Amino acid sequence: MERLQKVMAHAGIASRRKSEEIIAAGRVTVNGKKVTEMGCKVDPDQDQIAVDGNLIEQEKKKYLLLNKPEGYITTVSDPAGRPTVMDLIPDLQQRLYPVGRLDYDSSGLLIMTNDGDLTYKLTHPKKEVDKKYRVVVAGEMKETALKKLSSGLIIDGQPTAPAKISKLKYFSNKTSFDIIIHEGRNRQIRRMCELVGFSVLELQRTAFAFLTISGLASGQFRYLKTEEIKKLKNIG
């Protein structure tokens, strides 16, 4: 059983907040009876739900992988009018939501879906799903700083989990390396680098669990294969 406004949102009727307004206005019926209460729960597979007399159909689950460029925010819409990742997916008939976030100045792999259960599983800290990033910082990062990054740092009073660092490279007074973490704190890698005295110039997520952006140009996306979806659902 799920809340009526959630079912309406998943069916692409409107956002949850707007769906609540539609319910309050008396425009929704469940099995022929008008519903105006927000606490109403329904079975989307059994109950007949209608808006303005029109039965709604549950949207099919969709799963895609996007190679997000810099300069896009990871939200469905933005009040400030900035470009969002939704602008990169033309003619999309269903509402998809990002699994986790990549900040405005970061790029790389982003999973998008309307499967709320899978989103919860992949973003829950207890699942410890690995995420791999390519990082470029200003200056030459020494061994002491790398050890601090890999062993963990204190952010907002809480220690970060140990990280794995590889493919260290120095060039033009910059340092490039790969880092694997399973946490998803706000701007975590940038803040970790700042704590050891380095500013991030480039940050790209290159892998999420077993998925990579190999073969996808910046701004391109592809739908996940059936076996990839099953493997994601079996994580943890």
On whether both 17 and 44 belong to a single domain, the answer is yes
- Tell me whether residue 43 is one of the annotated catalytic residues: no
Separation CA 59–CA 144 (nearest Å):
51
On whether both 99 and 75 belong to a single domain, the answer is yes
Place of tokens 């998803």: 184
On whether both 163 and 117 belong to a single domain, the answer is no
For residue 213, CA distances in Å to 64, 186, 224 come to 12, 22, 12
Give the residue, 57 or 107, on which the prediction is more confident.
107
On whether both 201 and 181 belong to a single domain, the answer is yes
pLDDT at 46: 86
pLDDT at 139: 97
On whether both 175 and 134 belong to a single domain, the answer is yes
On whether both 216 and 121 belong to a single domain, the answer is yes
Alpha helix (H) residue ranges in the chain: 4-10, 16-24, 116-123, 143-151, 188-195, 226-233
Domain CATH for 199: 3.30.70.1560
> What residues form DSSP beta bridges with 52?
none
On whether both 173 and 68 belong to a single domain, the answer is no
Structure token digits, residue 225: 């294969």
- Total of domains in the chain: 3
Given the residues 47, 52, 91, 103, the one annotated as active site: 103
pLDDT (average), residues 153-161: 94
Instruction: Find the domain containing 86 and state its range.
Output: 63-125+211-233
Domain CATH for 51: 3.10.290.10
Q: For the chain, state the CA radius of gyration.
A: 21
Q: What is the pLDDT of residues 158-209, one digit of tens each?
A: 999 999 999 999 999 999 999 999 998 889 999 999 999 999 999 999 999 9
pLDDT at 45: 78
For a pLDDT cut of 70, what percent of the chain falls above it? 99
pLDDT at 208: 96
3-state DSSP call for residue 191? helix
On whether both 18 and 41 belong to a single domain, the answer is yes
For residue 18, CA distances in Å to 96, 97, 129 come to 17, 17, 33
Structure token digits, residue 16: 């949850």
Q: Give the model's confidence band at 1: pLDDT under 50 very low, under 70 low, under 90 confident, else very high.
A: confident
Q: Say how many residues make up the chain.
A: 236
pLDDT at 94: 72
Residue 58 has pLDDT above 80, yes or no: no
pLDDT (average), residues 49-61: 88
Q: Give the model's confidence band at 124: pLDDT under 50 very low, under 70 low, under 90 confident, else very high.
A: confident
Q: What is the pLDDT of residues 70-117, one digit of tens each?
A: 999 998 888 888 999 999 998 776 778 899 889 999 999 999 998 888
